[in-house]
Amino acid sequence: MRIIPFPARAGITGFESPASDYLQLPLSLDEILIEHPSATFIGRAVGDSMQGVGIYDGDLLIIDRHVFPKDGHVIVANLNGEFVCKVIDLKRRMLLSANEQHQPAAIHEWDQFSIEGVVIRSIRCHCPCAMPGE
């Protein structure tokens, strides 16, 4: 697969599009972003609890169920019927936010808890008009 290499600078004017030679470029974002297609799904981040790791409200999350979760991974989990995106601390059985304004959450033995997958990528949507599903 060929990717168009060009530096993006603010204030670029007066030159031909770097994509003009690649009009027939076969480009698949699936090939670039997804490693295990049959085990991958996409979610949308809500809130500000993961800003410290670069995940912001409205970002798209690519979640892979095939990746084995390890300590410190960003995961999507179901905690008592609510989907959450957090950093997993397996040793202390905690879900950690990446924002000091949010407290960690302990995972108790009485909780209904399941890890749905590991967040392998996030995509920031810069134009609200381009948000899929709306």
Q: Say which residues have a Cβ less than 8 Å from residue 88's Cβ, sequence separation at least 6.
A: 69, 71, 72, 73, 74, 75, 77, 94, 95, 96, 115
* 3-class DSSP assignment, residue 31: helix
Query: What positions carry a catalytic annotation?
Result: 49, 86
Check if the beta carbon of residue 113 is closer than 8 Å to that of residue 90.
Answer: no
- Distance, in Å, from the CA atom of 121 to the CA atom of 56, rounded to the nearest integer, reads 12
